[in-house]
Structure 1
Amino acid sequence: MSQHERPPSARRDELLEQAYRYALAHGLAELSLRPLAAAVGSSPRVLLFLFGSKDQLIRALLGRARADELAALRAARAAGGGDDLAAAVRATWGWLVDPAHRPMLVLWVQAYARSLSEPDGPWAGFARQTVEDWLGLLGGIDGGTAGGTDAALGLTVLRGALLDLLATGDVERATAAVERYLSLIGSPAR
């Protein structure tokens, strides 16, 4: 916790959840405190008091988004047969293509890009951490040692297909690309 950030409180947690829902609907790239505060039934002053600064609020929102993303990806991996890399990739892709997850994924892309272009701001380290998170989920299964090339290749295919899907909306083509990769590693579609 920074020197300006306040300790957790029930009101802070409540506003963080409401702000997270707002960010899912409106994005984080151009977050402005006045519209956010109005949408969550608060004021910019209260948000600044509870979070310390706009940057700290963004960091809290990124942490909240990361927690959601990791929980969802862990559940997808477990549902897909947790000890098989191909099954984990297929299950993760199944989760990624679900239209219900688009807002979270768009928020993820915004944060990832800002982390790369503003490495010293509130986005600092987000891109690197999310790569490590995803490698941690894919690594160590079916020969894909943590950070190993099998897990990295699976991650690269998933991320590339995800960006393609978000840009074009072409689920069929992006899914075909993921399935082609899986067939190359010996896991044909079921």
Structure 2
Amino acid sequence: MASDTSAPSAPSARQTELLELAYRYVLEHGLADLSLRPLAAAIGSSPRVLLYLFGSKDGLVRALLARARADELALLERLREQGALDLATAAEQVWNWLSAPAHRPLLALWAEGYGRSLVVRDGPWHGFATATVDDWLALLAEAQPPAERTAPAGEARRTLVLAVLRGALLDLLATGDRTRTTAAVRAHLTALTADGAPASDR
């Protein structure tokens, strides 16, 4: 794999512009079969320029995955800014965002990156799935009371919530059935608030 050391140490205006254009391209076409030549033609550049700016194809893919994660982190920050939420309410707001049709391209790209990182253990995919799990668990932990947050049972509850959200999202991406998947998520969240959780977490 080519080294990324030839890339500029700080993003130039042109690099930032091309990254945004490339990001829009992969939201539509995906990353699995990404080829520099059609990508460059679509965004008004050339493979040579992309290789110079990003160091290698892997460097470009890594930058695109980071850009996708930035959108995910922006969602998490918006939820944090809304103040203290209980776990079920936080999960419901997350699902509302995940299930919105406008976010389908981003989440399809996320699912692709998540799946690839499970089978390609090095290169640009390395650590992508782990990072996203950590991001979401951190948000859900903030929605729990401090005493529950640090307890094994609290960790298990937010892990289960995340598993339900992720499973429902994959189902939604596969079938497009927002009504059924939303009903399933809400059924789980209703059970969550009735399963003996602390009153402060209801």
TM-score for both structures, normalised by structure 1: 0.91
Distance 1:179 1:54 in 2: 41
Matched, 1:5 2:12: no
TM-score for both structures, normalised by structure 2: 0.86
Deviation at residue 72 of structure 1 after TM alignment: 1.9
Task: Name the residue aligned to 2:149.
Answer: 145
Alignment of 1:32-51 (within 5 A): 32-51=35-54
Aligned equivalent of 1:177, options 157, 178, 184: 184
Distance 1:88 1:13 in 2: 33
Task: Name the residue aligned to 1:119.
Answer: 121
Distance 1:127 1:153 in 2: 17
Distance 1:39 1:140 in 2: 42
Does the 8 Å contact 1:70/1:133 carry over to 2?
A: yes
Aligned equivalent of 1:71, options 52, 61, 74: 74
Q: 1:170 to 1:78 in 2, by over 3 A?
A: farther
Distance 1:130 1:16 in 2: 21
Q: Which amino acid aligns with 1:153?
A: L
Aligned-pair identity in percent equals 60
Aligned equivalent of 1:24, options 20, 23, 27: 27
Deviation at residue 84 of structure 1 after TM alignment: 1.1
Distance 1:75 1:31 in 2: 31
Q: 1:82 to 1:31 in 2, by over 3 A?
A: farther
Task: Name the residue aligned to 1:54.
Answer: 57
Does the 8 Å contact 1:76/1:95 carry over to 2?
A: no
Distance 1:2 1:32 in 2: 18
Task: Name the residue aligned to 1:88.
Answer: 90
Deviation at residue 5 of structure 1 after TM alignment: 2.6
Q: Which amino acid aligns with 2:134?
A: E
Gaps of 5+ in 1: none
Q: 1:169 to 1:76 in 2, by over 3 A?
A: farther
Worse overlay, 141-150 or 162-171: 141-150
Task: Name the residue aligned to 1:163.
Answer: 170
Gaps of 5+ in 2: 195-202
Higher relative contact order (CA 8 A, sep 6+): 2
Deviation at residue 4 of structure 1 after TM alignment: 3.1
Does the 8 Å contact 1:4/1:52 carry over to 2?
A: yes
Does the 8 Å contact 2:85/2:143 carry over to 1?
A: yes
Does the 8 Å contact 1:28/1:110 carry over to 2?
A: yes
Distance 1:59 1:43 in 2: 18
Does the 8 Å contact 1:77/1:92 carry over to 2?
A: no
Q: Which amino acid aligns with 1:150?
A: R
Deviation at residue 165 of structure 1 after TM alignment: 0.7
